[in-house]
Structure 1
Amino acid sequence: MLHSQDILVNWTPQETRVAIIESGAVQELHVERTLERGLVGNVYVGKVVRVLPGMQSAFIDIGLDRAAFLHVADLHRDATNHKPGRHGDGQVPIEKRVHEGQALMVQVIKDPIGTKGARLSTQISVAGRLLVFLPQDDHIGISQKIGSPELRDALRSRMLALLGEADNREGRTRSGGFILRTNAEDATDDELAGDIAYLRKTWGAIREQGLKSPPGTLLYQELNLAQRVLRDLVNERVQSIRIDSALQFDTLKAFGDTYTPTAVARLALYKGERPIFDLYNVDTEIQRALARRVDLKSGGYLIVDQTEALTTVDVNTGGYVGARNFDETIYKTNLEAAQAIARQLRLRNLGGIIIIDFIDMQREEHREHVLSELRKQLQRDRTKVTVSGFSSLGLVEMTRKRTRESLAHMLCEPCPTCEGRGQVRTARTVCYDILREILREARQFSPREFRVVASATVVEMLLDEESAHLAGLSDFIGKPISLQAEPTMSPEQYDIVLL
């Protein structure tokens, strides 16, 4: 049974935050900062700066700090005036389709993440409330979430009839294809026709500007987060959308009246004295979503580690001893963990390869039930997810499509002390590094004195536990060694000054 949802929108001039609440708990978080808006959906005039035949890709300058990446699979067959042909995997090689200095109209399909530039496609799509317009194609697609074959056939027939009427009125042959989004399931013909007209008009403006604009020009910008809430996140389960800014409420209402009339009826201005996110302790949930450890209600816990290559989730029983025997304890903990993991993936917006290390289960039926529960919980995810079964090592491997930065990458940065490793060298290790460095310097230089400048913890250890070794080194090199504590230095930092 699917529960009703509430959407909370916290708006400030510098940042928009959206929380989706279900059964009193935060299920999804979306954050967009004015100075760091995502690029997915934006359309640019790009310039090819380098073609890499070995990788079947090209680097495209679209006016960002880093060149963007275009793979041959994301080149539309008509984008470069080449007909499709066979080459290895069925693609015309990229070096025969694009060349350095060439201008291309491209769309961002994946934001820059870490050190990687944005990923591009020349297969342009423009999203509306009910439809996605594909100006370079001519087929009619239906959202996979509309499952009934009869309904899918009926929607396709209605769309073909509406497109035929529109083309006849405008005196042209069929141009462009469409994908019907999930919320088009109950749309009227007038609503579909309105979306068709809006999307074709939008595309006409993009194409006209693209013909006369230099490379690096932004031709079309995706809607902001508050607008995307009305367009993308509202479904039959959403009972209210509350926003805490009167200015943005009016702006959003005007947008909704034009493009999402069914969604705008649920829009309300929050006037409470408490901050809107305090209603469901959303800020506390954000802090928890940035932590490694996730406590389960039973007493078990998860450890979530995110790296550039993949994300690992380790399940532990912790203090849970509630079941009748050890096998049942493990089984119950893993079932609860499956539910928590699916929620954490949404909250943290984790993508890419994800490895889950459930506690080892001896009974095959337990493993099947846990895997089934995980898949069931992941069905609620708006992002495409693929789950494999248990591997020979007892691990569950899965992937979750990554299009934007994770919550941690958006809100945090690597620790300047440990440089993102999550640990620092001990004071004793740093002391021995210092002693070796002094010996190395003494073989090359002959100063009057060596002065060690380091953190207070390291200096204290050199004066106490390592004092004998320090004195022995001073005698060996025949030079005095003085110590100076520097409060601003991290535990791993030190300087050796030659006096």
Structure 2
Amino acid sequence: MSEEILINLTPRETRVAVVENGMLQEVHVERASRRGYVGNVYKGRVQRVMPGMQAAFVDIGLERAAFLHASDIVRPPATVGAEHADSLHVNSHAAHASISELIHEGQDVVVQVVKDPIGTKGARLSTHLSIPSRYLVLLPQSHTLGISAKIDDEQERQRLRDVLQPLIGDSPLGYIVRTNAEGQSAESLAFDVTYLGKVWRVVQENIAKAKVGERVYEELALPLRGLRDLLYAGVEKVRVDSQVTFQQAAHFVNKFMPTLADRIEHYGSEQPIFDLYGVEDEIQRALRKEVPLKSGGYLIIDQTEAMTTIDVNTGAYLGSRNLEDTVYRTNLEAAQAAARQLRLRNLGGIIIIDFIDMSDEDHKRQVLRMLEKGLSRDHAKTTVYPMSSLGLVQMTRKRTTESLERQLCEPCPACNGRGTQKTAETITYEIFREITRAVRQFNAQKLMVLASSKVVSRILEEESAAVAELEEFISKSIRFQAEEHYSQEQFDVVLL
């Protein structure tokens, strides 16, 4: 299987795409104005304890108070005196304790964000800290050595234990061996142990001097985080369209995974990097509700607050034998397509897939097996339950960040929130990309952009610095003109 990672950077936005056999499988977006918080560690203060919910709200300096459940709190050992009861970064687990026994209002806590704020909900927190490196995850409060269940070769699991035990020794720190540690040398693993030890010492120093609401550890930015989590021996190329970020990526890979250093390359072609393999078009299609199938059938994907539903329809597909055969083949194709769409759209939480009713039990098993096979390459944890008598498959997919649609779109004011439209911010970056594309293809002294008044106002007020950078980059002046009759998603780039 051919796999590539494409990294696209503009002044205010970074995007990372994973392409397998020429087809987009994953896309990650990070904007300078709204970087995610997952993985960051903060010094917080408990604002309110709610025994009925077994949870508390914690101020960590974000717009909304964050949520901390009792099950996510490390319990202080019984031997710790009352004068140390406020320190939550210690051993043991809050298995069955009441929230009131674990924390109190006004208490300072060291917490890690495990889920970004989503919709109206604040961030989800945990006091079980974890800091990842390329091959390991450091667990500062747990003296244990765990190995990813995805490494199923028992000899390899034992080899990893044998390599790491001497490196860890009697250290009070715990470690989890990540999936991509499989086959790695003792030197690589030793490097990660040393690296994580240094990081934890810095975090401890930051905790000691931090004020409430201050960040004491920050997760890597998207390009390097993508390389850490997505780059493995099966990836043929990583193409980066920014020279500066390419150098950072090359340095990072040389330091942490030198055997893959030759996979990183700078992409300097005139054609925009996301035009390769039609990635831009695939992103646009991933924002639509309907997903066509090659057979003529289609999926309808509806994302709501409570869950995501996927409805399978035969459409124009009539099959060659009988109705059962038509339904079975459509469901097989739909299972594969649904697995890809969940990963591509970053859909999480509860998911219900409404397959077309089948009477043959073997057909049901085959469709379920196809779905599980499609999900096997998903980096997010998924759990699939047996198909119901109605042909419904219930499943869950772990969600830590907003879905692609919620990142790029907003409720449409024209339909009172029944649908969505791209935000003015999203259109702004599309305009910037279109300007760069147009200048590369055609000669022009200056450019004029026609767009909706909201988009033009945003560009002139909030993106003026970015416009100046873009004008300097293309060596041409750009004029923006508001058109009242343009919808928010509509714009034109005119060459003058």
Could you state the TM-score of these two structures normalised by the residue count of structure 2? 0.81
Q: 1: distance between equivalents of 2:127 and 2:46?
A: 12
8 Å contact kept, 1:84–1:91: no
Residue aligning to 2:334: 337
Q: Which amino acid aligns with 1:293?
A: E
Equivalent in the alignment of 2:57: 59
**8 A Cα contact 2:86 2:107, kept in partner:** no
Q: 1:44 to 1:329 in 2, by over 3 A?
A: same
Residue 390 of structure 1 deviates from its aligned partner by 1.2
- The DSSP-based 3-state class of the residue aligned with 2:268 is coil
Task: Deviation per CA, 1:429-486: give whole Å up to 9, x if none.
Answer: xxxxxxxxxxxxxxxxxxxxxxxxxxxxxxxxxxxxxxxxxxxxxxxxxxxxxxxxxx
Q: Over alpha carbons, which structure has the higher Rg?
A: 1
The answer for the alignment partner of 2:44 in structure 1 is 46
Whether the aligned pair in 1 keeps the contact of 2:357 and 2:390 (CA below 8 Å) is no
**Contact 1:62–1:215 (Cα < 8 Å) also in 2:** yes
C-alpha displacement at 1:299, in angstroms? Answer: 0.6
SS at match of 1:199: helix
Please show how residues 36-435 of structure 1 align to structure 2 within 5 Å: 36-78=34-76, 80=86, 90-164=95-169, 173-422=170-419
Deviation at 1:368, TM superposition (A): 1.2
Deviation at 1:381, TM superposition (A): 0.7
Supply the distance in 2 between the matched residues of 1:213 and 1:84 (Cα, whole angstroms): 22
**Deviation at 1:34?**
1.4
Q: Quick one: distance in 2 between partners of 1:223 and 1:248?
A: 13
Question: In structure 1, what is the Cα distance between the partners aligned to 2:255 and 2:233?
Answer: 19
- SS of residue matched to 1:194: helix
Separation in structure 2 between the aligned mates of residue 115 and residue 283 of structure 1, nearest angstrom: 29
Task: Give the aligned residue type for 1:67.
Answer: A
Cα deviations by residue, 1:161-180 (Å, 9 ceiling, x for unpaired): 1222xxxxxxxx42201111
Q: Which amino acid aligns with 1:38?
A: G
- 1:85 offset after TM fit, Å? 9.9
Q: Calculate the aligned-residue CA RMSD, in Å.
A: 2.0
1:134/1:177 contact within 8 Å kept: yes
Report the CA distance shift for 1:45/1:305 in structure 2 as closer, same or farther (over 3 A): same
Match of residue 12, structure 1, among 10, 13, 16: 10
Query: For residues 404 and 263 of structure 1, what CA distance do their matches in structure 2 show?
Result: 28
Alpha-carbon offset, residue 91 of structure 1: 1.8
What count of residue pairs does the alignment treat as equivalent? 414
SS at match of 1:413: strand
Q: Is the 8 A contact 1:86 1:92 kept in 2?
A: no
How much has 1:204 moved relative to structure 2? 0.7
Q: Secondary structure at the match of 1:183?
A: helix
Contact 1:111 1:118 in 2 (8 A): yes
1:382-436 deviations in Å (ceiling 9; x for gaps): 100000111233211000011100000000001112232249xxxxxxxxxxxxx
1:29 deviates by 1.0
Distance in 2, matches of 1:285 and 1:389, equals: 31
- Counterpart contact for 1:56–1:94, Cα < 8 Å: yes
- Quick one: distance in 2 between partners of 1:86 and 1:354? 30
Q: Check conservation: 1:242, 1:269, Cα contact below 8 A.
A: yes
Percent sequence identity over matched residues? 56
Question: What's the counterpart of residue 497 of structure 1?
Answer: none
Matched to 2:139, the amino acid is L
Q: Distance in 1 between matches of 2:381 and 2:363?
A: 26
Residue 101 of structure 1: how far off its partner (Å): 1.0
SS in 2 for 1:281: helix
Per the TM alignment, residue 81 of structure 1 is displaced from its structure 2 partner at its CA by 5.6
